[in-house]
Amino acid sequence: MKTIILNKPGEFQFINRAEPEAAGNGEAIVKIQRIGICGTDYHAFKGNQPFFSYPRVLGHELGAEVISLGGGQAHVSLKLGDRVAVEPYLNCNDCQACRNEHTNCCERLQVLGVHTDGGMTEYLKVPVRKLHKSEVLSYDQLALVETLGIGFHAANRAGVGAEDKVLVIGAGPIGLAVAQFCKLSGATVTVADRFENRLDFVRRQGFSDRSIVVKDALNPEQLRRIFEGDLPTVIFDASGNRSSMLNAFNLIAQAGKIVFVGLFQGEVEFFDPNFHKREVALLASRNALPGDFTKIISLMETGQIDTAPWISHRTSLDQLPSDFASFMEPDQQLIKAIVEV
């Protein structure tokens, strides 16, 4: 089967692999139909993705078709031909995190396309419990469920409510997802980014009440003007930029929450008296939970979330190696690229 492998930063290669062996108990084989390209993939291509080794088959945002089911499936509602979103977080179900239902940060977590080979291929064998079906959604929509799940999980981590004044820093797909779910919670939302086209998209989709074009480091006085004299009660940093993330400690309201959705390879440092006097809660948000996938699919099926405007670029599996680098160019005005398999 046709497969694209990232041999090293900047170097894709087509290879032919044998199709997966027969599905065993609790397993399914899916035909990959759509692949969303996300920041993780771009970072891997550029050589600065944490938790990553080469060579690797990328691809963890997947819309797929069930083509084979193994034994032991009596309790499963799946059937051949079902359209599914793939939950790419392969957890062990045995460690302390898994026993406490924190499967998103399993101690032995293997994420498709990051720790183990992912979906830039024609067929993939996965645990049945990682498949979330819809009889309504298209493959395009199903491929975006994982991206939305990260934003949904982050908003839930912070317990965002209607009383909150939220600042989302970084308007890539993850930041957009965070902003969308914060708005659905009734919060007042401001989104900050360096790229005007992303903020235009935010405004058109109604994901924020205000937006900030970031030219220099954000400062408290600037935010007080936007939040009518107040500071944000919740800051989500989805930029993955060290300076931006560390600056969040200077921007948060007293008793506020900072949620790091993006990450960088380095140490987080802050001035402890400033942290303590504000009684700040610092949270990390990683991946998503199975229930997040279920909820997002329901929201999409009932029309409360429309992902069609998100897809700004398309390519095929054959064209991906030549198109991939160009997607990262500023003049492309990328929101989300989808690969059709």
**What are the residue boundaries of the structural domains of the chain, listed by start?**
2-144+307-340, 150-284
* Amino acid, res. 310: W
Question: What CATH superfamily is the domain 150-284?
Answer: NAD(P)-binding Rossmann-like Domain (3.40.50.720)
- Helices 39-46 & 320-327 angle (0-180, nearest 10): 100
Residue 265 in this model has a pLDDT that exceeds 90: no
Asked whether the domain spanning 150-284 has the same topology as the one spanning 2-144+307-340, the reply is no
Q: What is the DSSP letter of 253?
A: P
Q: Contact 197/276 with Cβ under 8 angstroms?
A: no
- pLDDT value for 330: 82
pLDDT band at 188 (very low <50, low <70, confident <90, very high): very high
Residue 237 in this model has a pLDDT that exceeds 80: yes
d(CA 151, CA 168): 11
Could you tell me the two tokens for 120? 């830039």
The position carrying tokens 């993780």 is: 40
Burial 93-116 (b: 16+ CB within 10 A, else e): eebebbeeebbbbbeebebbbbbe
Q: Contact 271/280 with Cβ under 8 angstroms?
A: no
The secondary structure element, H or E, covering residue 85 is strand 83-86
pLDDT band at 75 (very low <50, low <70, confident <90, very high): low
Burial 258-286 (b: 16+ CB within 10 A, else e): bbbbbbbeeeeebeeeeeeebebeeeebb
| Residues ≥6 apart with Cβ < 8 Å to 74 | none
Bridge partners for 248 per DSSP: none
pTM of this structure: 0.94
d(CA 122, CA 311): 21
Nearest CA among 180, 166, 198, 185 for reference residue 39: 198
Classify residue 96 as left (phi > 0), alpha (psi -120 to 50) or beta.
alpha
Query: For residue 296, how far is the Cα from the chain centroid?
Result: 13
The position carrying tokens 């406490």 is: 100
The position carrying tokens 């799946």 is: 78
Q: Contact 44/60 with Cβ under 8 angstroms?
A: no
Q: For the domain with range 2-144+307-340, which CATH number is right: 3.30.565.10, 3.40.120.10, 3.90.180.10, 3.40.109.10? A: 3.90.180.10
* Amino acid, res. 142: L
- pLDDT value for 48: 84
d(CA 101, CA 124): 26
Looking at the chain, the whole-number percentage of residues with pLDDT higher than 70 is 99
- pLDDT value for 329: 87
pLDDT band at 77 (very low <50, low <70, confident <90, very high): confident
- Phi and psi at 139, nearest 5°, equal -65, -35
Could you tell me the two tokens for 296? 């997002």
What mean pLDDT is reported for the chain? Answer: 95
**Residue range 191-216: average pLDDT?**
93
* Amino acid, res. 245: M
- pLDDT value for 74: 60
d(CA 236, CA 258): 6
d(CA 19, CA 29): 10
Cα distances (Å, whole numbers) of residue 333 to 104, 146, 311 = 31, 22, 11
d(CA 185, CA 70): 40
